[in-house]
Amino acid sequence: MPAEKKTRKSPRRKIRIPVMLRELSNEQPKGPGIDVRIRDLSADGIGFYSQQIYNIDTILYVEMYLPRRRKPVACKIKIVHVKAVSHSSDYAIGASFEELSVEDRQFISVSLDQMDLYLLLESMIKGGASDLHLTVGRPPMVRREGRILAMAAQPLEEGEIEAMLYPLLSDEQIEYFKETKELDTSFSPNIRCRFRLNMHWQKGFVEATLRNIPAEIKSFEELGLPKEQLEKICQDLKGLFLIAGVTGSGKTTTMSSMIEFINQTQKKVIITVEDPIEYTFQSQQCIIKQRELGSDTRSYVEALKHGLRQDPDILCIGEILDAECLKAALRAAETGHFVISTIHAPDTVSAIERVVNLFPPEHAMAVRQQLASSLTAVLFQSLLPGKERKGRVLGSEFLINTNAVKHLIREGKYPNIMNTLQTGRSLGMYTFQNSLEDLVKKDLIDQETVTLYASRDYTPKSV
């Protein structure tokens, strides 16, 4: 009869903390010790990587430097598992704690609960939050329906954020972060959810922001987008289409919805260049190639330059950041490709003006000519508090590059474009004010929200 499988008394967590390993001589630790990369930790044992192989039942001495404690947790460990790591010279080693005091065991258990990232993410999702903020000296904070709220947890200590997030990163990403002090990436804890992660430094401490990316890509109607206008844009597949808005207004979500609509309705080749990849697509009618800055390509400009040789019909650029990126996007649009990108701007007209202002003044006329010829339309969007603070609702503005708009762009008469926008409803255009009025009629927002957002500055003064 097979032996009964031994179950662990406490769950293991994937964390990254400094660990020092020493061999024993006459029951005492000897030598300077070696730093090892931890794999996981529980109140019963530890998993780590080592280039040195150890025999089963070997006794070693370990020092573990956990946050919230000045001195390391130290004890003997017994090797219980050794396995070679594929494509590496490392061994994955598992060990149980020997002679660990009750107080230290309890401290490890409490520390692991405090640093359980997946528990925080699960709570965030259940509470309907969009973002999780990890800041040293504050409890984990979430953004829900536009408001920042504290989670029911202890303030984070130095070292806890690295312990939680480093297991998600490759060694190359960790080194890059240490060198540049900035990192953008994404990860999927399971097949049902995905998160975008930004890590940064603030006052000498590592901090992070995680955004919940819904697993399901919603349709235009579900997002509250202008269905008729966007379907026509996605069927014509020509020129440059810009999605404008402030940070957190759902620009990437809109771009993903457009990609998915094309994916379901046409047989095309789509190349996306993102930083990082957020929504992931399953090719249906289309061939979809998703490229991430850093791991798949060095820059938007390089990806666009070489992407034109990959037989694309549609090119999606995560964000237009500089003149070189815009120049490459316009070149792609001029050569018959459909280009979708996002830009930070407070309305459709400002988006056009900001694009031109990416170039020095002496190049403005040439850029206006090029933009007037290549631009298809601009969509501005902003997330508004729903009626009685129930969820958030999308407000938008839609500008089509008609012959009249082309002329005004060439002449640099940006204020006059608003007049064309206000009178172009029969052509499918509408202003942000029109959108607010429609949302009131649908009983989705109240008059207070209209008053708050009705000015040309669509960023709310308070939410």
Give me the CATH topology for the region 115-213: Beta-Lactamase (3.30.450)
The residue among 293, 376, 289, 379 whose CA lies nearest residue 332 is 376
Superfamily of domain 220-453: P-loop containing nucleotide triphosphate hydrolases (3.40.50.300)
Tens digit of each residue's pLDDT (9 = 90 or more) over 161-187: 999 999 999 889 999 999 999 999 999
Residue with tokens 């019963």: 44
Residue 330 reports pLDDT greater than 90: yes
CB 67 within 8 A of CB 160: yes
Task: Tell how strand 239-245 and strand 338-344 pair up.
Answer: parallel
State how beta strands 182-190 and 193-202 pair: antiparallel
Which tens digit of pLDDT belongs to each residue from 253-295? 999 999 999 999 999 999 999 998 999 999 999 999 999 988 8
Q: Which residues pair with 37 in a beta bridge?
A: 49
For every residue of 316-355, DSSP letters joined together read EES---SHHHHHHHHHHHHTT-EEEEEEE-SSHHHHHHHH
Listed residue (391, 380, 398, 399) closest to 449, CA to CA? 391
**Spans of all domains in the chain:** 19-108, 115-213, 220-453
In this structure, what token pair is assigned to residue 243?
């999605």
Q: Is the pLDDT of residue 208 over 90?
A: yes
Backbone angles phi and psi of 436, in degrees to 5: -60, -45
- Report whether pLDDT(122) > 70: yes
> Does the structure show a pLDDT above 60 at 6?
no
**Parallel, antiparallel or unpaired: strands 45-50 and 91-98:** antiparallel
Q: Read off the pLDDT of residues 125-159 as tens digits, 9 standing for 90 and up.
A: 999 999 999 999 999 999 998 889 999 999 999 99
19-108 domain in CATH 2.40.10.220?
yes
CB 42 within 8 A of CB 12: yes
